[in-house]
Structure 1
Amino acid sequence: MTDAPALFLGQSDQPETLLLSRANRHGVVAGATGTGKTVTLQIMAQGFSEAGVPVFCADVKGDLSGICMPGSPNEKLLARAQEMGLALTPKAAPTVFWDLYGQKGHPIHTTVSEVGPVLLARMLNLNEVQEGVLSVVFHVADKEGLLLLDLDDLRSMLAYVGENAERIGREVGNVAPTSIAAIQRSILQLEQQGGAAFFGEPALRLEDMLRTSLDGRGQVNVLDATRLMNSPRLYAAFLLWLLSELFEQLPEVGDPDRPRLVFFFDEAHLLFTDAPDALREKVEQVVRLIRSKGVGVYFVTQNPADIPDSVLAQLGNRIQHALRAYTPSEQKGLKAASQSFRPNPAFDTAEAIQGLGVGEALVSTLDEKGAPRVVGRTKIRPPDSRLGPATDAERAQIMAASPVRGLYDTPVDRESAEEVLAARRGEADQAAADAKLAEARARADAAAAKEAEKAAAAREKEQVRLDREAERARAPARRSNRQTPVEALTKSVLRTAGSTLTRELLRGVLGGLKRR
């Protein structure tokens, strides 16, 4: 045994402890339903808190909320504590309740940009092609300086990319309208599941989860997941996002004497069910590298086989509650679970796993050198806090005294992609309306000019007519050249008579000449 700071987990043939200096090497708590996993999680969370380590854990069934209240141990729990030489001191842990929907805890918000296209595609259950289109949307938003804060921003960006698909497609690849429509439908489904409450501001600040109380105990952050479990993809993607944020923001600390934060991932199988390879690789990367940030990750699930081998290999501290093996797949899982422990010559590990009672577990943690200890059949210690859920009144009382009260309860809606694109569309619509109005005015002005020209020509023509009439009115009266019938007859008679007289005279003159 060692005198290094450690959590007391329970009693086998010796005290079973978890060294704080090895707690960032991650772990797994497994077991069938009703075998005591939640109680083990509770005593570990409170133990880390007492050691000054902040904790984050998901409360899937609501039972874990009792950690905020002092326990009332019954005779059975007192007897078990006495067997272990343990003096139970009823005590509550400093607890802060969180809830993505803001109903049973402080709301947790983050932005669409911070989640990123990979995890968002997981939430929306997109295929590979649709995920590629979503990546294009993020690329265009970054390039044009458009903030993606909530789902309305994402929806506006999708519409914008769809409207400009030809131009954008020449730069980053084809963007099919069918993919845009499919993503829009998936967003609608996520909203109907309540996912819209997760996206927005004020965004969660990680330092508000890494607090310690005035007496030096670590803050226990309890996420109410009773409703969130109805959206398993959102639940898994949210917890992976939180891990990724811790990995990106926390500095390297190597192997500290105690973790900076311990993260419990309940119902961990949901993270890996139908998960694409890219997501599995992301989980493996985060689990492998976040250790150096001083963060310990503990997966809580029914069977270790639910966790991929590449991730399971990173989990050094193991607590295995009872498993039932009736079907071939369950027997395969039992074999895998038993083989993951360092054998104890005192018993057969596989048989022991099946014979464990409620509140018993096989425990193997890392020693000072980082090597797994021999597995021990252990009675888990009773908790100091309450077994069972807190009442609504107790929860409200804890929230009223919360150190983050008022920081996240009021949503903030600042200018982002939706507002910018709406303003652009408004400006474009206004410009189109102005152009249309200017065109209408131009047509009206042209018509008016044409009418004015016609009117001027008509006036000019009328003036010419009036001038001619005035000129005729000013000229003296002229004798008419037209002859009356009498004048015409007289002139005709005279012309005839003149012609006859002339002929007679000519004959006379000519005749006289001939006689000579």
Structure 2
Amino acid sequence: MDRQTQFRNHLAEGQVFKKDYIVLGTGILDGEPVSNAQIKIPLKTLNRHGLIAGATGTGKTKTLQVIAEQLSLKGIPSVLMDLKGDLSGLAQAGSVSDFILKRSETIGVSYDPQGLPVELMSISNEKGVRLKATVSEFGPVLISQILELNDTQRGVVALVFRYCDLNHLPLLDLKDFKRVLQFVVNEGKSDIEKEFGQVSAASVNTIMRKVIELEQQGADRFFGELSFDVQDFVRTKEGKGVVSIIRLTDIQSKPKVFSTFMLSLLSEIYETFPEQGDSDQPKLCLFIDEAHLVFSSASKDLLEKIEAIIKLIRSKGVGVYFCTQTPTDVPDNVLGQLGLKVQHALRAFTAKDRKAITKTAENYPDSPFYDTAEVLTSMGIGEALVTALNEKGIPTPLARTLVRAPITRMDILSSTEIDQLVASSDLVRKYNHDLDRDSAFEILERKMNQVESVQQKEIPKEVTRKSSSRTPKDESLLKELSKNTMVRQLGRTLFRELARGILGSFSGKRR
């Protein structure tokens, strides 16, 4: 039995599937593609999450594109976090070339270029469906984790949410949240202390600064209404799963906003989707490009929250796939949950790089056909080491793989094409309008204005009452004093300061 036949048999033993699957590519042995050695991934285990890793320029994004395409053709919707802006081409058909046709023939698949149903989305200024969520939907625990607060500060945030619930003050955006924080230590201080005890102004000021920091990264555009319904991610069109591309090119330098959005999305999906059990295919797959941004800026509490959701969300029929440069970008607790691993080439330019390659090789099953560490540095563009879980949850044999070509455009859409896609979207018409209903900010502002109005009416009454109580002797003394310039100036100063103290007790603090 020759070596290629042994290789085919080795792959076939681990890739016997009773249910449906997608074909990612074909196996490579001794540097040459092997016919009839397709690398298959069962749909049944795609909710076990995955990793697509490799150095810059090795084909990670195109592999992500291929998997999203094949899922769509199987009627499975997906959500793609596009931080580089190079995934919009999924909406248009790819180009046919001799190279692509020969590659497809080698892999044993037909090449049928076509565009897929795509929905462009954004949490910032990019064109597309605007995704939003309210502060109330996040809740005190998640808000505290995002702001990286200590226990005392978390207690203040919990108090704010409780006070707003009891007094029917909707917390919709960061403007509402900041206004209630000001109210707690200023105008409403006495009421708060009666019901909840004393609140530290220093803690409130710290929370306020952290909220402002979040605002400066653009989070104020994300918090508000109309809240996005995650059920709108789970759509099909003409039998194909809709690919929702969240365009994030303008927030690469704002990792806190990215991790905030990512955590809120995972939390909402986990809390909203029903338990699916052990089904034949996933309900939804999420692909997070440049995944290191999620983890590098996240606090310990935030990481624990993400890890917990990743472990539990698969029971909802949801698979999460991280696309990054090295597996070490993903925490070990998350890495251990991943079923599919697609590893593109790594580059060994330094001693540190060589150590990273050795460590990466240890994350993959041993193979009688490869020295994994050696293969990691010798693969070309569009090649990857692949291992998945079979239908019994057992890792499939590690295979160096020639990845199939995308059937959609391998370039981005033009501005005109993006405009046309956005203009035809039903979700854009549903979500892309400003909604600023009465919430905590407006309610508290009206309340304070009413108090000021009452105070201003009381001041003339008080002055009249005091004036009427003067005796003739008092009047004579006042007339004498009024002739003195110094006394007149002192009187005006005292009155001005007194008026400022009374009238500014609310308005000054509001500023």
Query: Normalising by the residue count of structure 1, what TM-score does the alignment of the two structures yield?
Result: 0.82
User: 5 Å matches for 1:6-17?
Assistant: 6-12=21-27, 13=34, 14-17=37-40
Counterparts of 1:360 and 1:391 in 2: how far apart (Å)?
29
Amino acid at match of 1:196: D
Aligned position for 2:106: 83
Unaligned 5+ runs, structure 1:
455-516
Give the one of 66, 69, 75 matched to 1:46: 69
Change (3 A) 1:422 1:219: same
What SS is found at the alignment partner of 1:423?
A: helix
Deviation at 1:256, TM superposition (A): 1.4
CA distance 1:229–1:126, shift in 2 (3 Å): farther
The CA distance in 2 between the partners of 1:248 and 1:238, in whole Å, is: 15
The number of residues matched between the two structures is 449
Paired amino acid for 1:323 = L
Structure 2 distance, partners of 1:330, 1:66, is: 33
- Alignment match, 1:190: 214
Which position in structure 1 is the counterpart of 2:131? Answer: 108
Matches within 5 A, 1:491-510: none
Query: 2-side partners of 1:110 and 1:171: how far apart?
Result: 30
Counterparts of 2:198 and 2:283 in 1: how far apart (Å)?
45
- AA aligned opposite 2:292: H
Task: Tell me which of 309, 334, 341 is aligned to 1:318.
Answer: 341
Q: Distance in 2 between matches of 1:355 and 1:170?
A: 70
Residue 367 of structure 1: CA displacement?
0.4
Which digits, 9 at most, give the CA deviation of each residue in 1:275-305, with x for residues without a partner?
3222121111101111111111111111111
CA distance in 1, matches of 2:297, 2:123: 23
Tell me whether 197-206 or 323-332 shows the greater mean CA deviation: 323-332
Aligned 1:52-71 pairs, distance under 5 A? 52-71=75-94
Q: How does 1:151-190 map to 2 (within 5 A)?
A: 151-163=174-186, 164=188, 168=192, 175-190=199-214
Matched, 1:4 2:23: no
* Contact persistence 1:200–1:411 (CA under 8 A): no
Residue 457 (structure 1) aligns with: none
1:287 aligns with 2:310: yes
Hey, what does 1:232 align to over in structure 2? 255
Query: 1:5-404, aligned counterparts within 5 Å?
Result: 5-12=20-27, 13=34, 14-121=37-144, 123-124=146-147, 130-163=153-186, 164=188, 168=192, 175-213=199-237, 215-404=238-427
Aligned to 2:455, which of 422, 432, 453? 432
Distance 1:296 1:86 in 2: 25
Shift in CA distance, 67/128, structure 1 to aligned 2, threshold 3 Å: farther
User: Alpha-carbon deviation of 1:440?
Assistant: 3.5
Question: Deviation of residue 57 (structure 1)?
Answer: 0.7
Q: What letter corresponds to residue 434 of structure 1 in structure 2?
A: K
Q: Which residue of 2 aligns with 1:461?
A: none
Q: 1:88–1:238: structure 2 CA closer, same or farther, 3 Å change rule?
A: same
Q: Following the alignment from structure 1 to structure 2, what is the Cα–Cα distance between the partners of residues 47 and 438?
A: 79
Q: 1:301 to 1:435 in 2, by over 3 A?
A: same
Q: Counterpart of 1:407 in 2: which secondary structure?
A: helix
Q: Larger radius of gyration, structure 1 or 2?
A: 1
Q: Which amino acid aligns with 1:4?
A: K
Q: For residues 198 and 396 of structure 2, what CA distance do their matches in structure 1 show?
A: 56
Work out the CA distance in 2 between the residues paired with 1:353 and 1:322. 5
* 1:386-405 superposed Cα distances (whole Å, 9 cap, x missing partner): 00111111111111111313
Change (3 A) 1:234 1:169: farther
Deviation at 1:173, TM superposition (A): 6.6
Deviation per CA, 1:81-124, whole angstroms, max 9, x where unpaired? 12112221111110000011243211111111222345444554
Separation (CA, whole Å) in 2 of partners of 1:198 and 1:68: 25
**CA drift at 1:441:** 4.5
Whether the 8 Å contact between 2:72 and 2:240 is mirrored in structure 1 is yes
Distance in 2 between residues matched to 1:255 and 1:265, nearest whole Å: 24
Is contact 1:102–1:409 with CA below 8 Å preserved after alignment? Answer: no
- 1:204-224 deviation digits (Å, cap 9, x = unpaired): 0112111111x1111100011
The alignment partner of 1:379 has SS state of strand
Deviations along 1:132-171, one digit per CA (max 9) or x if unpaired, are 5434433332343321111110110110122245764676
How far apart in 2 are the matches of 1:141 and 1:33?
A: 48
Q: Structure 1 vs Structure 2: percent identity of aligned residues?
A: 39
For residue 442 of structure 1, what is the aligned residue in structure 2?
Answer: 465
Could you say what secondary structure the match of 1:297 adopts? strand
Distance 1:439 1:31, change over 3 A: same
Contact 2:256 2:297 survives alignment (8 Å):
no
SS of corresponding position for 2:431: coil
> Using a 3 Å threshold, how does the CA distance of structure 1 residues 175 and 353 change in structure 2: closer, same or farther?
farther
Question: 1:1-36: CA deviations, max 9, x gaps?
Answer: 325211111111521122111111111111111111
Given that 1:11 and 1:378 are in contact with CA atoms closer than 8 Å, whether structure 2 keeps it comes out as yes
Do 2:259 and 2:298's aligned partners in 1 also have CA atoms closer than 8 Å? no
Provide the rounded CA distance (Å) in 1 between the counterparts of 2:280 and 2:392: 13
**CA deviations over 1:318-344 (Å, ceiling 9, x no partner):** 111111234454334323321222211
Matched-pair contact (CA < 8 Å) for 2:259–2:297: no
User: 8 Å contact 2:130–2:428 — kept in the other structure?
Assistant: no
Secondary structure at the counterpart of residue 29 of structure 1: strand
CA distance in 2, matches of 1:250, 1:274: 28
Contact 1:123 1:234 in 2 (8 A): no
